[in-house]
Amino acid sequence: MRLMSPGASPCPFCALPRERIWRESAEAVAVFDGYPLTEGHTLVIPKRHVGSFFELTMEDQSAILRFVNEVRMELLHRFQPDSFNLGLNDGPEAGQTVGHCHLHLIPRRRGDVPDPRGGVRWVIPSKARYW
């Protein structure tokens, strides 16, 4: 991973210590989240420093999504979750706190919350329940 331009504060994802990376492709790396929601919560981070997923080329987006599938398979093997949430906070208003694109792959287990219906809809709790 590379650092941002000289004089800029280093991006925490561009300056990742090598030992944090547990899987890598030509376009992205996988690291366990520093503040995991569940066991195996992983961040998939493009190697190219862009703030938004939509700043990536279509080829890079496709390659990163293929990599997400590889990471998912490894998480299935290592942690045996029942399901997954795949999340992308794209921009500060969507909750993005690090200005480097990254996807959350969150293993889920039966019973980890009382009622998982709605999943990512709960980012706006007043609109989540539609059933």
Task: Reply yes or no on whether 102 is catalytic.
Answer: yes
Alpha helices per DSSP H over 16-124: 58-79
Query: At a CB cut-off of 8 Å and minimum separation 6, what does 13 contact?
Result: 1, 43, 45, 49, 98, 100, 102
- C-alpha closest to that of 47 among 22, 25, 72: 25
Q: Do residues 79 and 40 lie in contact, with contact meaning Cβ atoms separated by under 8 Å?
A: yes
Say which of 49, 100, 102, 104 is annotated catalytic. Answer: 102
Catalytic residues: 102
